[in-house]
Structures are given as structure tokens and as C-alpha cells.
Structure 1
Amino acid sequence: MVQQNELTYLTGFNNEHETEALEGALPVGQFNPQRCPYNLYCEQFSTTAFTAPRASNRRSWTYRLRPSIAMGDFTPMDKGHLLTAPLTDTPCPPNVMRWDPIAMPEQKTDFIDGLVTMAANGDARMQQGIGIHVYRANSPMEKRFFYSSDGEMLFVPQQGSLLAKTEFGHLSVSPGEILVIPRGVKFSVTPTDGPIRGYICENYGTPLQLPERGPVGANGYANDRDFQYPVAAFEDIDDDMQLINKFCGELYQATLDHSPLDVVAWTGNSAPYKYDLSRFNVINSVSFDHPDPSIFTVLTSPSETEGVANVDFVIFPPRWMVAENTFRPPWYHRNIMSEFMGLIEGTYDAKEAGFVPGGMSLHNSMTPHGPEAAVFEKASAAELEPQKYENTMAFMFESRYVIAPTRYAQNSSHRQHDYLDCWQGLKKYYDGTR
């Protein structure tokens, strides 16, 4: 039996939600009665320490057909191109790097088999840093389920829609939306309209949260109300299943005699969620100069240093550009943070050639970068009238830690070894008489 949820959603970031697939499945007035309604098992799911402050504490109570420990032993399995920080098998060069989209698989491939790690930093065992992956799939995860003990997973779809069936319910996600699955949540992925491809930031550190608004005030950026959580749904299926766990950088498999997606009801604030990037309220310059990209931060994972992120998820969405007497594209810069970019659709204003949807680039700490030569020439001579950037969506994973590309990424046929050429046309315009 499959109890589905009709893809309706609960709203509000990090709210204390409650939802039940069967009426009366949630206990009233306490979390763990001696006997739960419907003779369900009670199991708490925590993604922060028990003693974390109330404002940052994340946990949910689940009421399920069986506790999660009703499973077989884990045994190692092949992890393919899936890697985890720290990366020690190859040096990390300071070069700028860019890649074409990784090709879709030609053979039958599900989400797990299609994962490729492009870069990583930090140390998953120390719960700091990130892993950056590309996912590709053309078939559903048949009787297979996955979860990562190493970090929460931020999905950024680029091609094709997917249905994520999780312990907490179902979420349908398409390009232009994002999906976050907390560390430890079991799920399966099904393509719903053809092959799928996208990016994943596996966050080993503090769970993603909304950034502070500061002088912006009470509104703007991503608003709490626009984040959507699943309503409860459960599978009462007795059959041979495979559970795959990413743990300390390795993959392990265990057998089950039932579906692990058997949560009938849940209440709490740690659960998968989605967000439509078109709802992001862009704050931009209306006078002069290109502002810091931090104004486009959707979600952040703070580090132990205030104001310095383990990772920021930043977007460059459709927006008006009206700044006067200003070079409007991003300025040339070197900075302490490291930047991994991807393009969902359209064109990124600083790179009008070579950076295509599904592609990626890496500019590491203190490595210089900025607009290509042709963009500099065009922007320096442009008539500065109000201009709207439309049909575009780029994003950036920005981290305080150096982002090390994997051996696969460095040697891949998708790498553009001529990336540096886009700056070779930069001329010296110096005039000592002016």
C-alpha cells in the first residue's frame, strides 16, 4: 500500500511543522506515549546536537511502521566517481578552471550511479566544508534508497524535473527551484519528464539557514514563507529493498525487507524542503557601482568565524541594472573566498561565451578573475540606460575553504583547457597624460 500526499506542501522556513497521512497518527500533548496511535513506532530525528540553542536546534519526531534499525548490516560497495573531502590523491592548482556540461548517460542510469564529484573542501569527518557533485539520471531508483551521513544535500536542477520521495513526504522539483535534503534523510529520485541533470552541494557543516538581512530590514532576499515542506506520505510495502549510505566518504549497502519510507506522521523543523528561485526578492544598486555578490545569498552555512561562511549559496537571477556611471558587470577581483559557479539557463553577464547551461567554473582563493576581454570592451562603451537581465539564472557555491577539484575534474574531457584565453585580449589603455 502507498499512501501519497498529492504534492501539497507546508510553508515556512525552519518552522515547527506537523503533518499526518492518517488522521490521529500524531500524539497530542507529548511526543513519546507508551503506545503510539495505530501502534506506530516513535523515532526522533536530530540534525543538530540535543543541546543546541532553541533558535538553531533542528529535530523532528517521526511515527513510522518500523524503527530505522530494522535493517541488515552494511557492507562496502563501489562508489564510482563519488568522492568526499579531504581530497588527498591529487594537488590543488590555483588555475582558473571551466567545464562544459557533463554528458548525459547513454545506458540506463539512476541517481546513485550517475553521481560525479567535481570538487570538495574541508573534512567531512570534522563536519566542515562541502562536496560539489553533478547528478545525472535517466531511470528511477527501483527498490533503492539513499542517504548521506556526511552532509545535507542542496540540489540545483539544471535539466529535467524530478520527484524526490523522502521519509517525510514527496517533493517535485524542476529547474529554477532548489531542493535541500537534510543529513541522514532517506530518499529516492525519479525523473518525471525525461533525463535529469543538475548540481549538488553536499554541506558537511552547519545546516543551511537564511542569511541575516542587516540594514535591508524585515523583508527582502528569500522570505521564510516561500519555503515548502512535504506533507506526510508513507509506503507500506514488504519487498526486498536496498539501502545505500554515504558514510565517511565511502558507500555502504544494506538489505531491507520493506520500504524505509514508512513515516505515517511527523512533527518538527528538520525535514526536506524546496524553494522557487523566482521568488527571491533581489536587492541591487540603484545609484552607482556593482555591489558585492553577497546581496544575492539565498542560503548560508556559517562557520565558527562570524561573517565567514562554510558555504554560501548565491544566485544571479533576472534583475534590473540601473547603476549610473558604472562598469556594470562584476569587477575584476581577487578574494579570500573560493567560488564554484554553475549556469542553469541563459547567459551569465560576465561570461558571454563558453559558459553554457550545465557548465561549471572554479575560481579559487586569491586567484584573479572577472569579465572576459570582450565583455570589458562592450561594458566600457555601453550606453548606460536601464537594462533588464532576463531568461538567466547562474549560481555560486562560495566557501571560506579552498575548493579542490578532483582528479576526474582536472583530467576530464569536459574541461576547457583554453579557458584562460578569454582574458588574453585585455589591452593596456594607460595614458600618462590624463
Structure 2
Amino acid sequence: MTQASPASDRRYQSGFGNEYASEAVPGALPQGRNNPQRGPFDLYTELISGTAFTAPRHENRRTWLYRRQPSVVSGRYQPYAQAHWTTGADREIALPPEPLRWHPQPLDGAVELDFVDGMHTIAANGDAESQVGIGSLMYTAGRSMTRRAFVNADGEMLLVPQQGRLLITTELGVLDVKPGEIAVLPRGMAFKVALPDSEAGAGPSRGYVCENYGAHFRLPELGPIGSNGLANARDFQAPVAAFESEEGDYDIVKKFGGRFWRAPMKHTPFNVVAWHGNLSPVKYDTAHFMVIGSISFDHPDPSIFTVLTSPSDTPGTANCDFVIFPPRWMVMENTFRPPWFHRNLMSEFMGLVLGEYDAKPGGFKPGGASLHNCMVPHGPDEEAFDKATHADLKPHKLDNTLAFMFESRYRFIPTKFALQSPALDTDYADCWAGLKDQFKA
């Protein structure tokens, strides 16, 4: 990749939703107008709009690209087979109101799969055509995408690697994302994923993906928290302009209307020499998250751990909240410190990147997942409850842990693949079987 910046040789630009500007060759960005009659160095001008043209200014997302060849130059699309990456809710599945959990997704057979072919939808809600809801997916892959690119026209993608780095080449530049970091890739923007750790012999990579059909992810409002806390915009990193100069054919795989299509291309789609705008891929290190918590008593709602939110048409009730549970101090007095037993309007798809989750110390493993739908009771297992109710409540730190939730106002429906998977924990409900009636009159 040819990569440069007129101001420095840095690899990233800081900020979330900023009006970025970057050029891999000095002078490639036109000055004073977005669409000159002839672009600098005879580059083609192309606009990618992530919102309607008439969206309010503070919500409008678009980026101007100055590229060697426009993206219209491609072959004809033919159907492409990807049976396990489904879109939206399958309402033919009769799902009982019970909690579900999956052991870590097995890596058998993943060595020959790349990021696209190794994707599996675990559960989903909503509908991409209506631009409502999300899909909760996992990937297991061991092969890098080389002369192959992917475009998702159905939704933006939030990537949460659990095992193995992702080297993500996008039209706007390159993101290097390791476990503990996340990446957000805009709808409709071409990218490819290399797996440097897998290629180095560390085995297949694994991780989680939220395919967001709804409104763009954005930083949540802080309300009474004030101006500082949770995720800071400055800690998000966008790439600087970079382009491939190697000649040769490319395959383009596109997800469009829930189906997959494939077309040949005689050149690389990663040929953007300069760009400016506020529609950009970004990455974020969760270690920078400023945790807010109780320093007196009671266990706060998990909403204080929200990194990003995709709002719905009901204020305060999200299409999707991306919530993390990172290392943090627990200091509350006379308080049951793990999550209490609860039923929610919001539905929760949960994953574990590393370490141990305090409410499920034994049965929930990194690379696994759980699903607690609307008004389905859940909470700490018997071991966690017993430990928490008898603990000496001294300040202690939950360390070496990172769990997360895709939380949605809509009910998740697991896919047939997930319900038939050998990773499905059919004994999950037994973790509460030992909770006896302890009432003492």
C-alpha cells in the first residue's frame, strides 16, 4: 500500500465522526471545490453518501473520494454462495422464552476459510430492507483475503476480534485491529481482511460482528455524567489515505438485499489516492474506555458501559447499544456486586473476548456467546450468587476481563445453524437449578 500524509507519516487520524482529510500523494486533494472539472493528477471524483442527502447537518455522513478508477468499472455480478450469513429475523422459527448459551465456536475447518466465507449468523432481528435491527454474527477464519474485496450494502459492521489480529484494508486506508480493540466499517465501503497471526502459525482467528441495519453507530449522550466519561471521540482512529499500486484482477463479493453476489474487476478497488469527509472506518481500543461506577452502594445499570449506540425512532430505546464490561474496581458497600437477577425490555446478545465474566465464572468462556431475549429471566449462576452473598466486601478489581453486549429493543431469533450447532449449551438452565428457597420467616 502506498501511504503518506502531507503533515506527517502517522498511520491514523483521531476522532469519531470528524471531517477528516487525507492524501497519499501531496496535492491529490482538490482545494476550494469538491468536484472540479478535472481532478488533481486526473483522478476521478466519487461521492459515497452514508445518509440521505437531506439528513440534518449533525447527522449527515458523506465522504468525497479521489481515485484512480471509479467503482463503476467492474464486471457483471453473479450469485455467490454463503449459506451461513443470513439477514434479519427468520420468523418461521418458534423460539421458546428461554435463555440460550453457546460454548466457544469450534475452529475445526476454519483454516481454509477467509473472513467472508467464515462468517456465521448466530441470531438476528429486524430487517435490512426496512433498515431496522441488527445481526449478531461470529467468524472463524484462517486465510487472508488477498485479491478479494467485500462490500456490505445491507448494513455497517462492528467487528470485535476475540482471537487473532485483523489487518483491514479499506478504500480509505488500513486499520490494524487486535483483540481488545474494535472496528466500525461503513455500509457500502469496500474492504478486505488479512489475518497476520493465522499466517504466522497461531491458528485460525475468531471474533464477533454486529451487522447494523439501522441508524449509524454514534457516541451516546452523557447526560448527568457531564462532558467527560465513557468513550472519548479523540480515542477513535480513522485511517490515512493509502492505495494499492499492484496490478491484477480482483474479485468483488457484495452482500445486497440479504443475498451474495460476485463480480470480477480488472483492477484493485483500493485505489483512492485522497479523500475527505465524515463517513470513515474507525478503530477503538477499549482500554481507553473511562468506566463510570458506583462508589457508595447498589449496582448501576449496564447502560453506563455503552461505547456506541444506534438510536431508534423511540428516544432512549436503542436499535442497538454496544456495551462493554472491561477491567474496573468494585467498591460498593452492602451491595450484591455482580449483575442481579433481572428481566429486561431490551434483548441481550453477549460475548466474551478474554478472561472471566463475574456473573458466570465457570460456564461462559472466551469465544462463546449467550442470548437473553426480552423479559427472559437471567442473572448470576449458583456459584457467582453464593460467592457474592458471602464475600468480604473489600474494594477489589475485576482484571484481565472483557465481555460485551449487543443490546437491542428487538427480539433476537437464532438461526438454524446456531440452534443445531454442537456448541449450543443444552444444559445452560441447569446453572440456576441449585438456587433454593432461602426464606427465613
Deviation, 1:7, is: 6.8
User: Residue 146 of structure 1: which of 150, 154, 158 is its match?
Assistant: 150
Within-5 A mapping of 1:191-202: 191-194=195-198, 195-202=204-211
Q: Is the 8 A contact 2:3 2:240 kept in 1?
A: no
Q: Distance in 2 between matches of 1:328 and 1:88?
A: 37
Q: Distance in 2 between matches of 1:298 and 1:92?
A: 30
- Closer, same or farther: CA 286–243 of 1 in aligned 2, 3 Å: same
1:49 aligned to 2:52? Answer: yes
Aligned-partner SS, 2:197: coil
The aligned residue for residue 35 of structure 2 is 32
Question: What amino acid maps onto 1:153 in structure 2?
Answer: M
Aligned-partner SS, 1:408: helix
The aligned residue for residue 13 of structure 1 is 16
Unpaired stretches in structure 1, ≥5 consecutive residues: none
Q: Is the 8 A contact 1:346 1:391 kept in 2?
A: yes
The aligned residue for residue 335 of structure 2 is 326
User: Residue 363 of structure 1: which of 372, 376, 389 is its match?
Assistant: 372
Q: Distance in 2 between matches of 1:7 and 1:343?
A: 32
Q: Distance in 2 between matches of 1:81 and 1:95?
A: 23
- 248-257 or 291-300: which moved more? 248-257
Deviation, 1:238, is: 3.1
How high is the TM-score relative to the length of structure 2?
0.96
Aligned-partner SS, 2:429: helix
Q: Is the 8 A contact 1:236 1:258 kept in 2?
A: no
Deviation, 1:281, is: 0.1
Aligned-partner SS, 1:331: coil
The aligned residue for residue 3 of structure 1 is 2
Aligned-partner SS, 1:108: coil
Within-5 A mapping of 1:108-147: 108-147=112-151
- Closer, same or farther: CA 7–256 of 1 in aligned 2, 3 Å: farther
The aligned residue for residue 75 of structure 1 is 78
Deviation, 1:321, is: 0.4
Q: Is the 8 A contact 2:89 2:412 kept in 1?
A: no
The aligned residue for residue 413 of structure 1 is 422
Cα deviation code 1:205-255 (max 9, x no counterpart): 000000000001000000010000000001133322110011111100111
Q: Distance in 2 between matches of 1:220 and 1:240?
A: 47
Q: Is the 8 A contact 1:105 1:114 kept in 2?
A: no
Q: Distance in 1 between matches of 2:100 and 2:420?
A: 11
Aligned-partner SS, 1:295: helix
Q: Distance in 1 between matches of 2:249 and 2:353?
A: 37
User: Residue 171 of structure 2: which of 163, 167, 170 is its match?
Assistant: 167
User: Residue 225 of structure 2: which of 195, 216, 227 is its match?
Assistant: 216
Q: Is the 8 A contact 2:185 2:282 kept in 1?
A: yes
User: Residue 267 of structure 1: which of 245, 258, 276 is its match?
Assistant: 276
Q: Is the 8 A contact 2:66 2:274 kept in 1?
A: yes
Question: What amino acid maps onto 1:10 in structure 2?
Answer: Q
Aligned-partner SS, 2:224: helix
- 291-300 or 108-117: which moved more? 108-117
How high is the TM-score relative to the length of structure 1?
0.98
1:188 aligned to 2:192? Answer: yes
- Closer, same or farther: CA 145–7 of 1 in aligned 2, 3 Å: farther
Q: Distance in 1 between matches of 2:93 and 2:317?
A: 27
1:63 aligned to 2:62? Answer: no
User: Residue 248 of structure 2: which of 239, 242, 247 is its match?
Assistant: 239
The aligned residue for residue 337 of structure 1 is 346
1:281 aligned to 2:284? Answer: no
- Closer, same or farther: CA 72–7 of 1 in aligned 2, 3 Å: farther
**Superposed structure 1 runs of 4+ greater than 3 Å apart:** 4-7
Cα deviation code 1:346-403 (max 9, x no counterpart): 1001001110000000000000000001111110111110010000000000000001
1:292 aligned to 2:301? Answer: yes
Unpaired stretches in structure 2, ≥5 consecutive residues: 199-203
Aligned-partner SS, 1:422: helix
Q: Is the 8 A contact 1:314 1:396 kept in 2?
A: yes
Q: Distance in 2 between matches of 1:290 and 1:208?
A: 26
Q: Distance in 2 between matches of 1:228 and 1:54?
A: 22
Cα deviation code 1:166-189 (max 9, x no counterpart): 000000000000000000010010
Deviation, 1:105, is: 4.0
Q: Distance in 1 between matches of 2:421 and 2:92?
A: 16
Q: Distance in 1 between matches of 2:216 and 2:402?
A: 24
Q: Is the 8 A contact 1:7 1:170 kept in 2?
A: no
Q: Is the 8 A contact 1:105 1:138 kept in 2?
A: no
Within-5 A mapping of 1:248-267: 248-267=257-276
Question: What amino acid maps onto 2:387 in structure 1?
Answer: K
Deviation, 1:89, is: 4.3
The aligned residue for residue 201 of structure 2 is none
The aligned residue for residue 25 of structure 2 is 22
Q: Distance in 2 between matches of 1:165 and 1:7?
A: 16
Deviation, 1:85, is: 0.5
Aligned-partner SS, 1:125: coil
Deviation, 1:193, is: 1.3
- Closer, same or farther: CA 105–111 of 1 in aligned 2, 3 Å: farther
Question: What amino acid maps onto 1:390 in structure 2?
Answer: D
The aligned residue for residue 103 of structure 2 is 100
Q: Is the 8 A contact 1:105 1:137 kept in 2?
A: no
Q: Distance in 2 between matches of 1:232 and 1:56?
A: 24
Cα deviation code 1:120-167 (max 9, x no counterpart): 000110000001111121111121100110100000000011100000
Q: Distance in 2 between matches of 1:182 and 1:236?
A: 24
Q: Distance in 2 between matches of 1:91 and 1:123?
A: 18
- Closer, same or farther: CA 208–316 of 1 in aligned 2, 3 Å: same
1:310 aligned to 2:309? Answer: no
Question: What amino acid maps onto 2:147 in structure 1?
Answer: K
Q: Distance in 2 between matches of 1:70 and 1:235?
A: 16
